[in-house]
Structure 1
Amino acid sequence: MKIGLIGDSLTEGRPGVSFYKILKVKYPNEIFIYLGKPGETVKSLYNRLSKTTLDTDFDLIFLWIGVNDVYSKLLKVQAQPVSNNREEFKDYYKRIIEWIKAYSKKVIVVTPALVGEKMDSPSNMEIKELAKMIDLIASSYMDISVLDMQQIFSKHLANLACSDYISTNVMTIMKDALFVKKIPRIDKLSKERGLYFTLDGVHMNSKGAEIVADAYSSVIDLIVSNQTIAVQ
């Protein structure tokens, strides 16, 4: 099976721990093509994809985008253009879906997960609204399914005393990406910051990456089993 992973730094797996590498180990016989790029927003991702051509034989493509449309507002420097309002976000998100649909038999849209581990923060309230919008967008397509990562992490964090730590200094984020690469070091720094599933409030530590990989795996396993039944 040929699987595409499209998104931002969470898909690239830097900074933090890569869920993509976990999937590659778990599914050695599947072909993974990943198109993750740090800092991507819905606008910048669409601009990048519109200049890209893929093979048209993907069995499955995951789209995970949207967190930087919230997170980048907290940063002093915005590397990519951010949607001016919900309607613009919706418009670009739909354009991305239409682009992806031309290349894959099945498309899964993944909601942004979190900006900070306090799920009742203003940023996470905004993430929750984007998740609802993405779910609504997906419902207008017969062949698009939703993986609600926001809800998954909300459940994991529900009964925990969460730190309000979020990396908002661009230099700190760059240092984490360049120098904090080994998983034990990532997890140690995450713990020092009082975080459970992320390195910096956004990017995954090993536990967070496992949660994401498990969520993606649940979709992959379902599609593989359906293909097996169809062949039989």
Structure 2
Amino acid sequence: MQSIVCIGDSLTQGNYSYDWVKNLSKKMPFMEFINMGKNGETAKVMKTRLKKDVIDLNPDYVVVLIGANDLIGATNETAGKMYVDMFKDILVRPPCQEDYQNEMLQIVQILDLKLPKHTKVLILSPPPIGEGGPSSNEWKLGLEFSYICRNCVRTASQRVQFMDLFSDVQWDMIKMIDGNYKPLNLSLTKMSFSYMLSYILDWNNISWINNYKYTTDGIHFSKHFGEVIEDIVKQWVETYLGDDCVIQNDSVLNF
């Protein structure tokens, strides 16, 4: 059985949002899905566990989705200090665009150099954070982060690919939010409340209760949101599985 490691932050771990990794494992039972998402991590923090949580597992596929906390910390001073306190042995200053660029380049280079030659790697740009719309600081920086991910992949071999999750989600959000933008309000209380509700309600209902159109709390995946990344990853893997799989689009970018 082939294996796929999905590594990232809470958007991958899936206990504060729709668990796209778990749902993909149900749709593709012939593959072993290994969820290596860790809540709260930035790119620099995640980089420290690449060997143990990815390379040493000798996977056939790797999906990397990291940057949401870098973006939050770079646009919110209080959150930035919080991340330094959370990871004081690793972070010497709050997240910023420059550090994200440096860390993503190193992550791509490490995976390309250290993984077995048969392993395929997909780098996803982090999705828009918040429902503030294109004029919000979070969305503006999110676009820059997407460019960073794309450019880092261009330095790697052909087996490392990039998908612009930011743009796919952005246009989907614009249609669904329909102009009803709202500023990002970070609330750990609301996140914890949503987590408890998830035992009795689905994530779309939780999104409605929290008065969000697309996310559950301004950051995390509702079912609709999560299915966007789910479809992207599924279609990417299917491009390598032979003629028995149906390829629904050709949006994967090769460099």
Q: With the length of structure 2 as denominator, give the TM-score of the two structures.
A: 0.79
C-alpha distance in 1 between matches for 2:202 and 2:192: 15
CA spacing shift, 1:107–1:53, aligned 2, 3 Å? closer
C-alpha distance in 1 between matches for 2:107 and 2:202: 35
User: Which of 132, 135, 141 is residue 150 of structure 2 equivalent to?
Assistant: 135
CA deviation map 1:141-175 (0-9, x unaligned):
12221111101111212332334153412232233
Contact 2:109 2:156 in 1 (8 A): no
| CA drift at 1:87 | 3.3
Percent identity between the two aligned chains = 21
Match of residue 128 from structure 2: 114
User: Which of 235, 247, 250 is residue 218 of structure 1 equivalent to?
Assistant: 235
C-alpha distance in 1 between matches for 2:43 and 2:173: 26
Q: Larger relative contact order (C-alpha < 8 A, sep ≥ 6)?
A: 1
Match of residue 147 from structure 1: 163
Please list, as runs of the form range in 1=range in 2, the aligned pairs for 1:52-63 lying within 5 A after superposition: 52=53, 54-55=55-56, 57-63=58-64
C-alpha distance in 2 between matches for 1:62 and 1:53: 10
| CA drift at 1:56 | 5.4
User: Which of 146, 154, 164 is residue 182 of structure 2 equivalent to?
Assistant: 164
1:190 and 2:216 aligned: no
| CA drift at 1:50 | 5.0
Structure 2 letter corresponding to 1:146: F
1:100 and 2:111 aligned: yes
Contact 2:132 2:138 in 1 (8 A): no
Q: With the length of structure 1 as denominator, give the TM-score of the two structures.
A: 0.87
| CA drift at 1:129 | 0.4
Q: Which runs of 5+ in 1 are unaligned?
A: none
Q: Secondary structure at the match of 1:224?
A: coil
CA deviation map 1:58-115 (0-9, x unaligned):
2210110011101235355333436654332222112222332322521110000011
Aligned-CA RMSD value: 2.4
Structure 1 letter corresponding to 2:140: M
Match of residue 176 from structure 1: 194
| CA drift at 1:216 | 1.0
| CA drift at 1:140 | 1.5
Match of residue 32 from structure 1: 33
C-alpha distance in 2 between matches for 1:114 and 1:124: 5
| CA drift at 1:183 | 7.1
C-alpha distance in 1 between matches for 2:21 and 2:54: 22
Contact 2:125 2:163 in 1 (8 A): yes
CA deviation map 1:189-210 (0-9, x unaligned):
3123342331012110111111
C-alpha distance in 1 between matches for 2:200 and 2:172: 21
